[in-house]
Structure 1
Amino acid sequence: MVEHPQQPLVDIVIPVHSTSRPLQRAVSSALRAAPGAAPGQCRVTVVAHHLTSERVRSMLSAEQRAVVHVVESEDRGSTAAVPRNEALRRTTARYISFLDSDDTLDPGAVTRWLGIAERHGSDLVVPFQHHENPRVDVTPVTRPFRRSDLDPVKDRLGYRSSAFGLVRVHAARRVGARFDETVRTGEDQSFVMGLYAGSRRIDYAPGTPGYLVHADADARVSQQSLPMRDEVAAALDLTREPWFAGVPDELRQSYVLKYIRVNFFPCLENAVRSGAWNADYARSAGAVFGELTQYAPHVTDQLSRADLRVARLLSPGTGEGELLAALAERRRFATPGALLTERWTRVLGRQAPLRVVAASAVQILRYRWALAAGSRN
């Protein structure tokens, strides 16, 4: 693959902020991700963040330095938002694909995504995301066997909030999608949600080749313990985005329900187990829960009975043991308390626990089948 920096078809962008990152591994995978592409169709761009371009180039092999485009971004911010926004502003490509320096692309992944996008006119191609460790990724929680022309609400795209895959640059600029440079975690939420809200077509590429998340990252920001308000700031800050006013209520509801289930409750449990639970934390958690549930109409109607029991315990008088027991109850997904809503008319709602759990179970089977099929090829 030879660098042609003028008009590449795809820009594979890798931000890097530390010399401890396995950059050569990420770059090697990016160079192998588009076999069969015509000369100049794919460019690998490394964006140096808090590093000079010379220092980054010294992290690459001689062969990589000959073909990789290295640029510098401003030395501000502590997340990948700044270098990603810089790459989005600078690129001349039709598509952009983001890759974390800790992770890799499967051989042929970009070729596959590009074929889907060119064939269907996709603004966004959501990739199959698998893990080096035993974790199973059930997102996106799509309708059974759905892979083309996804609907952000019906296919519960809010559960996949990472900015990977393939993005049509014109679509991102048209929508005004950007990475949030003000938050400590979840900086890709505003970018992804902007695309979900404004894309004309979204497609999914199930199975391998896809995006591989490695287990050897030494300091992933998303895994660091943060105060409750910081943990969910990325979701609450979406209201400031220029495209947010046009987001349908049902999409807002779908997204905030994911945030409550996947971000708020786990953060609360981590805080209790780490000894951070006290009267001040209880008041803060209760206030944050109130902000989240005001994000869209009828959010609490879609939460399980067990979820709502936890919410009612967000007060200074609640003991750690009682709260941990309630949090454990909401994770017993085969029990009525974790599956049923308080209002019977909401039990079969698309975003209610019963249907989300059922769709997730189907995704687990598809995930395992895809990995097994990939290992045979």
Structure 2
Amino acid sequence: MSEPEVDVVVAVHTPERRVERAVLSVLLTEVDVRVTVVCHGTPPEGIAERLGPLADDARVRLLPHVDGVPSPAGPFNAGLDAATAPWVSVMGSDDALEVGAIDAWLALAARTGSEAVLPRLRHASGAVVPTPPARPWRTRDLDIVRDRLAYRTAPLGLLSRAALDRLGLRMTPGLPSGEDLAPSTLLWAGARGVAFDRRGPAYVIGADAAERVTLTVRPVAADLAPVDDLLARPELRGADTRVRLAVAAKLVRIHVLAAVHNRRTTGLDDDDRAALAAGADAVVALAPGVLDVLSRAERDLLDAIGAGAASARLVELSDRRRRHGTPTTLVPRDLRRVLAREAPLRLMAASVLVR
């Protein structure tokens, strides 16, 4: 085949995944694409059998990758390192693209001169994923602060390979989940132009896998390892106050406080609660001003975490925090901050407008 315009990397670790659906969805495009299916710790022959006739398509290549590490970072990085096209994209083996997605992303990149194009996301069930909660109707020149790009953790969409190389970004090796947190955050902050294809074909998050790695309950320390990795990055520590505050707000809500919600049935043992408190302290230390924009319910839960409250109490406060629309979830303790960009009212309004 001719040199592709886009290299798409699909990581797969078992032939039980419906990887053929992901590959076919990529090939249904007008531009020249190449799909690199990275076979992580599984024989390529089994994946080829799963792909059927697609395995013989000149636009598809199978790349074996054996590292003995239960992390998606290894195969994704292997695929990215093997890419030669000016644009790259990464996909989960359970996911798919709506027809014409890559065409739309490339067209938007050309119109806007962007180094990254974020697609619309939806679940296979049809539910919209309302991230990033950007400024209403904004499609070009998105800003990591004003458009809350940190809330888009996964680096899905169209990415400039030159930008990834210039910024030295790859998935964080060794992490069982969250390997994309640091590279995505630093890419949104450092890319020369980020666009948002708000109305175009969506990236579809699959629901077939019996056990998605990202939904597995692990010790809190393991879940917060990606946060520790990001907080240690000099690019973030040296960023200006507004960037650190925007990132800290996302880390508190989506990683620290959500760790309690994710364990509402299993509870948190002593080690979990200690790791949670340490993680909360580290995030707040990055940007102490984040405390001022959290809702009263979020602050109450954060205070309980710091005080070493019992698991049952943390779960109770977590449930209270998730009763969206109640006064405690809508306003900060300091009412002068009620309309701050990262405060709940503006965040929720922007999220609704993504739908």
TM-score (norm 1): 0.88
Matched, 1:265 2:252: no
Of stretches 307-316 and 297-306 in structure 1, the one that deviates more from structure 2 is 307-316
Question: Could you list the per-position Cα deviations for residues 83-123 of structure 1 after superposition, in whole angstroms to 9, with x for gaps in the alignment?
Answer: 11112222110000111110101111001101111222210
Counterpart residue type for residue 328 of structure 2: G
Counterpart residue type for residue 167 of structure 2: V
Q: Which residue of 1 aligns with 2:101?
A: 109
Q: Which residue of 2 aligns with 1:127?
A: 119
- 1:319 deviates by 4.3
Between the aligned partners of 2:237 and 2:270, the Cα distance in structure 1 is: 35
Of stretches 99-108 and 47-56 in structure 1, the one that deviates more from structure 2 is 47-56
Q: Which residue of 1 aligns with 2:247?
A: 255
Q: Which residue of 1 aligns with 2:20?
A: 24
Counterparts in 2 of 1:322 and 1:80: CA distance versus 1, 3 Å: closer
Between the aligned partners of 1:319 and 1:83, the Cα distance in structure 2 is: 40
Q: Which residue of 2 aligns with 1:372?
A: none
2:9 to 5, 13, 19: 13
Between the aligned partners of 1:287 and 1:84, the Cα distance in structure 2 is: 30
Question: Could you list the per-position Cα deviations for residues 327-359 of structure 1 after superposition, in whole angstroms to 9, with x for gaps in the alignment?
Answer: 222122222211111223322111111211121
- 1:65 deviates by 2.1
Alignment of 1:265-304 (within 5 A): 265-274=257-266, 276-304=267-295
Matched, 1:324 2:315: yes
Q: Which residue of 2 aligns with 1:339?
A: 330
Between the aligned partners of 2:122 and 2:247, the Cα distance in structure 1 is: 22
Counterpart residue type for residue 268 of structure 2: W
SS at 1:70's partner residue? strand
2:81 to 67, 86, 89: 89
Between the aligned partners of 2:339 and 2:163, the Cα distance in structure 1 is: 34
- 1:314 deviates by 2.3
2:228 to 236, 240, 245: 236
- 1:272 deviates by 4.2
- 1:246 deviates by 4.1
- 1:151 deviates by 0.8
Contact residue 117 and residue 197 of structure 2 kept, 8 A: yes
- 1:209 deviates by 1.0
- 1:53 deviates by 3.1
Between the aligned partners of 2:319 and 2:6, the Cα distance in structure 1 is: 45
- 1:155 deviates by 0.4
Question: Could you list the per-position Cα deviations for residues 186-228 of structure 1 after superposition, in whole angstroms to 9, with x for gaps in the alignment?
Answer: 1111221121121010001112412011111122111000111
Counterparts in 2 of 1:243 and 1:54: CA distance versus 1, 3 Å: farther
Counterparts in 2 of 1:306 and 1:61: CA distance versus 1, 3 Å: same
Between the aligned partners of 2:296 and 2:34, the Cα distance in structure 1 is: 50
Matched, 1:184 2:176: yes
Contact residue 143 and residue 189 of structure 2 kept, 8 A: no
SS at 1:107's partner residue? coil
Matched, 1:118 2:110: yes
Q: Which residue of 2 aligns with 1:357?
A: 348
SS at 1:349's partner residue? coil
Of stretches 76-85 and 195-204 in structure 1, the one that deviates more from structure 2 is 76-85
Contact residue 237 and residue 286 of structure 2 kept, 8 A: no
Contact residue 261 and residue 319 of structure 2 kept, 8 A: no
Between the aligned partners of 1:176 and 1:358, the Cα distance in structure 2 is: 35
Counterparts in 2 of 1:23 and 1:168: CA distance versus 1, 3 Å: same
SS at 2:136's partner residue? coil
Between the aligned partners of 1:164 and 1:221, the Cα distance in structure 2 is: 17
Question: Could you list the per-position Cα deviations for residues 48-82 of structure 1 after superposition, in whole angstroms to 9, with x for gaps in the alignment?
Answer: 11123333323221244232111123423212211
Counterpart residue type for residue 185 of structure 2: M
Runs of 5+ unmatched residues, structure 1: 368-377
Counterparts in 2 of 1:313 and 1:20: CA distance versus 1, 3 Å: same
Counterpart residue type for residue 242 of structure 2: E
Q: Which residue of 1 aligns with 2:217?
A: 225
Between the aligned partners of 2:15 and 2:24, the Cα distance in structure 1 is: 16
Contact residue 249 and residue 296 of structure 1 kept, 8 A: yes
Identity of aligned residues (%): 33
Between the aligned partners of 1:62 and 1:134, the Cα distance in structure 2 is: 29
Counterparts in 2 of 1:23 and 1:317: CA distance versus 1, 3 Å: closer
Between the aligned partners of 2:95 and 2:45, the Cα distance in structure 1 is: 22
Q: Which residue of 2 aligns with 1:62?
A: 53
Between the aligned partners of 1:46 and 1:281, the Cα distance in structure 2 is: 36
Counterparts in 2 of 1:106 and 1:317: CA distance versus 1, 3 Å: closer
Aligned pair count reads 354
- 1:42 deviates by 1.4
Counterpart residue type for residue 35 of structure 2: V
Counterpart residue type for residue 249 of structure 2: L
1:42 to 11, 19, 33: 33
Question: Could you list the per-position Cα deviations for residues 155-210 of structure 1 after superposition, in whole angstroms to 9, with x for gaps in the alignment?
Answer: 00111111210001001100111101132211111221121121010001112412
Q: Which residue of 2 aligns with 1:141?
A: 133
